[in-house]
Structure 1
Amino acid sequence: MSLNKITTCLWSDGQAEEAANYYISIFKNSKITHVQRYTEAGKEIHGQEPGSVLVVEFELNEYPFVALNGGPQVKFNESISFQIDCANQDEVDYYWQKLGEGGDEAKRQCRWLADKFGVSW
């Protein structure tokens, strides 16, 4: 059982599973731990197809995250970002390249980037 009592939730518009798989492909010691799907219950409110992904729980370097398919109402912005402690320039270059693929080129400044899902690193 993890001693970490804080879990980061990343709001998504239908890309939760894709984002979780993307992130675990970049970070070592990472995995998807649970996928929760929408059911028929509440469909009149949430409007999602039963069986589609609601939440993906995953770990990046053993830190817990949740990706939530919450809809288009909320977008990421630069007011929240993640920092990665790197041992050397090669590691910095690795994350810069991997996380920057498909990201917003206009937001690459001052050693920060926005990945293809809009998350700032």
Structure 2
Amino acid sequence: MGIVRPHLWFDDQAGQAARFYAEVVPNTTIHSIATAPPGTPGVAEGTEFIVELTLDGMRATFLNGGPAFTLDEAFSFVLDCQDQAEVDHYWDALLADGGTPSQCGWLVDRFGVSWQVVPVQLDKVMSGPDPDGVARAMAAMLTMGKLDVAALEAAYAGG
């Protein structure tokens, strides 16, 4: 395991987010949840404060730090999917209970974390040997919210 890991600042939902991801994302484990000591700025004493977890094999830290900073789309997790069924599964799970869909496979879950739900086939059509096919696939992708594997492949092929 490397020495670099993400650290995400939540207002007050770090533990809820970690528990949700542990249910939805394979190979995810919560290691510890520390509570806020007295005098922690912006956080009530005894509430969930620092969550240490492994998210699909990658160590991460989630912090409940109050509303001073917010998550935005400048940072996102990419979720590689093997096929359309996986895209559909993760897209629906991450949007559940208040997430917001965006364009080109991006969404923001109910905790404010941005995700890119990407089929492995996207890389194939975006790096294929046919520049016209790549342009068609790009044009098709730009019209999509959730990515559609069959439509991307058809666009690349010229259909």
Which stretches of structure 1, 4 residues or longer, exceed 6 Å deviation after superposition?
none
Q: Deviations over 1:49-87 (max 9, x none)?
A: 332111001111111111101110111111111111111
Q: TM-score, normalised by structure 1?
A: 0.86
Report the count of equivalent residues: 114
Question: Which position in structure 1 is the counterpart of 2:99?
Answer: 103
Question: 1:53-92 residue pairs with structure 2 within 5 A?
Answer: 53-92=48-87
User: Which of 1, 4, 23 lines up with 2:2 in the alignment?
Assistant: 4
How high is the sequence identity, in percent, across the aligned residues? 39
Structure with max Cα Rg: 2
C-alpha distance 39-28 of structure 1, shift in aligned 2 (>3 A): same
Tell me how far 1:47 sits from its aligned partner. 5.0
Gaps of 5+ in 2: 116-159
SS at match of 2:21: helix
Tell me how far 1:4 sits from its aligned partner. 2.1
Task: Determine which structure has the larger helix proportion and give its number.
Answer: 2
> How many angstroms apart in 2 are the aligned matches of 1:12 and 1:110?
25
Q: Deviations over 1:1-23 (max 9, x none)?
A: xx221111111111111111011
Q: Check if 1:113 corresponds to 2:111.
A: no
Greater relative contact order structure (CA < 8 Å, 6+ sep): 1
